[in-house]
Structure 1
Amino acid sequence: MTISHVTDQTFKANIKEGLVLVDFWAPWCGPCKMIAPMLEEIDSEMGNKVTIIKLDTDENQETTSAFGVMSIPTLILFKDGKAVEKVIGYQPKEALTDLISKHVSF
């Protein structure tokens, strides 16, 4: 799978089914750039268990403020449209995979 970019308009449609990790980021954010390759790895390793999407906070203020995102990167994990976990700042890959694994239904 590939990580897709969403907007305020497409956000809700992209989180309504299954497990979705949303990366709230901005192009100028250093830690966001550091976390991006890790998200690519998680995406290829966890494949169909989780969908990863990115939302540019500068261009999508409505969704950003709706979820109380004050600093980036912020990662919010949604399960069937409901936020179940939220982490702020750079996280090691293991922390992210553990966070996702807690919510994977087998």
Structure 2
Amino acid sequence: MLKELVKEEFTQDIAKGAVLVDFYSSTCSPCKMLAFILKDIEKTLGDQVTIIKVNFEENPDLIEEHKVEGYPTLVMFKDGEELSRKSGLQQKPVIIKMIEEAL
């Protein structure tokens, strides 16, 4: 499942199961490329992982809380605990490995 962040639901959304969070900026070219990769991954693994997109500009409190220093940044959560983090544009095999390690 791929969804845009609803701020009030963030903590609830990451609390259960495997959740990949994409911290992105709408003006960032690598972020736009990553969005296509994530849509492709969602088609393949959508029933096993939730992917949440968090807009950097609209959510400064979440950016600070999760110590995100740049974009794009992917953070993999399992039952609310951060398992791994990757900054910059990542290729599909790297992202799939992050997800598989959380399953």
The question of 1:68 aligning with 2:67 is answered: yes
- In the alignment, the residues of structure 2 paired with residue 79 and residue 71 of structure 1 have an alpha-carbon distance, to the nearest angstrom, of 22
Which aligned segments of 4 or more residues in structure 1 are displaced greater than 4 angstroms? none
CA drift at 1:22 = 0.3
CA drift at 1:55 = 0.4
Once superposed, what is the RMSD of the aligned Cα atoms? Answer: 1.0
- In the alignment, the residues of structure 2 paired with residue 102 and residue 16 of structure 1 have an alpha-carbon distance, to the nearest angstrom, of 17
Q: Structure 2: 5+ residue runs without aligned partners?
A: none
- In the alignment, the residues of structure 2 paired with residue 47 and residue 9 of structure 1 have an alpha-carbon distance, to the nearest angstrom, of 22
Q: Structure 1: 5+ residue runs without aligned partners?
A: none
The question of 1:21 aligning with 2:20 is answered: yes
What is the TM-score normalised by the length of structure 1? 0.92
User: Residue type of the partner of 1:10?
Assistant: E
User: Residue type of the partner of 1:42?
Assistant: I
Q: Equivalences for 1:34-45 in 2 at 5 Å?
A: 34-45=33-44
User: Residue type of the partner of 1:46?
Assistant: L
What is the TM-score normalised by the length of structure 2? 0.95
Work out the number of aligned pairs and report it. Answer: 103
**Any conservation in 1 of the 2:77–2:102 contact (CA below 8 Å)?**
no
CA drift at 1:10 = 2.1
